[in-house]
Structures are given as structure tokens and as C-alpha cells.
Amino acid sequence: MDKIAFLPRLQRERDKFEIFLNQIGFTRQMTMTGVWENLSVKDLLADVLSREQFIADRLSEIQHGESYSPCITNTTLGKFQETFGYPDYESPLLDKENLNHLVIYKYKNIGVDDIIEQELGAYTNIISALEKLTQGQCLDHDLFHRVAEHTYKPYHRMIIKINRWLETISSETK
């Protein structure tokens, strides 16, 4: 894969995600619990935000010549989350697909509009950083795979969970 092919794919996946979220509509529906366990669409969006912020920060580190190593002990994992406000999603100690309830809790009292604004900012930072990085840097740091893991793969998981929930509440109202 190369940047010329990856960036449009990333944007297409993003467009699908945004169209899907716009179809959900009202803020009330975004905050209803039960989408997955006791979580709302807003909670799932906070998880997406944290994953995008994670990769945006790693891309910034690459731009500035800093190195990142995944946490390999629970102590460093805890310190990482304290420092950054989100888990080290690339640590082998974490299941990449599990939601982090500390992240969800962090955003509990933040409004949907604020979460959306922050999430859009993180996504914009990802695009901006990718555009500045060379093809060689992208390949050296396996960025096409890593960015996908923290952007459109979580979008897909979120859409699946929300669609199941929407089907459930639709069948309950019939």
C-alpha cells in the first residue's frame, strides 16, 4: 500500500462513518444506554476518539523523530494511561478490541458535541500528519496498518454494535 492509495481509502471509510452517525440523529438517541452493555453511542464515540488521539500522538512523535515502544508491563501501562489519558492501544497486554472503561468514564460528563469536536480534531490531525510523512516513514513504521487499526476498524466495530442496537429497539417498538 502507498499513501496515494491509503489516504483516499481512509477518507472513504471516514465518510461512511460520518454518514452513519448523521443517520442516528438526535442527541437524545446518542446518549441512550444499551447500545452495547450499558454504553451509549456517545460512549462508543469517546472510545473512537481515544483511539484516534492515540495514533495522532504517535504520528506526531514520528514527525518529531521521537520513538514509541508499546508498554510491556502493567506498571508502564498504568503510567502511560495516566500521562496520555488513554491506554497504550498497541501494548500486547491489551485486547485491541475491548473498550477501556476509564476512557468512557473520563468522557461521561462531556457533551456529545464536545466529543464530536474533539474526535474531528483528532482525525484531522491524523490526516495532516500522514500528509507530511514520507512514504518511507509510513512503511518504516507500518503506518497504513496502524492507522487503520485506530480509525476505520473501530468505526466498523462501532457501526456493527449500533446497528444491532437499532434493530433491537426497532423491534421493541413494533
Residue type, 142: D
Tell me the pLDDT of the chain (174 aa) as tens digits.
899 999 999 999 999 999 998 888 765 678 888 888 889 999 999 999 999 999 999 999 999 999 899 999 999 999 999 999 999 999 999 988 788 888 999 999 999 999 999 999 999 999 999 999 999 999 999 999 999 999 999 999 999 999 888 888 777 665
Calpha distance 99→46 (Å, rounded):
10
Residue 52 CA to chain centroid, in angstroms?
Answer: 4
Helix (H) / strand (E) element for 144: namely: helix 143-150
Calpha distance 148→52 (Å, rounded):
10
- Please report, for residues 20, 26, 45, 159, 163, the alpha-carbon distance to residue 23 in angstroms, rounded to integers and kept in the order given: 5, 9, 15, 11, 11
Query: pLDDT at position 154, please?
Result: 95
> Can you point out the beta strands (E) in 7-129?
none
User: Are 152 and 55 spatial neighbours (Cβ–Cβ below 8 Å)?
Assistant: no
User: Are 76 and 92 spatial neighbours (Cβ–Cβ below 8 Å)?
Assistant: no
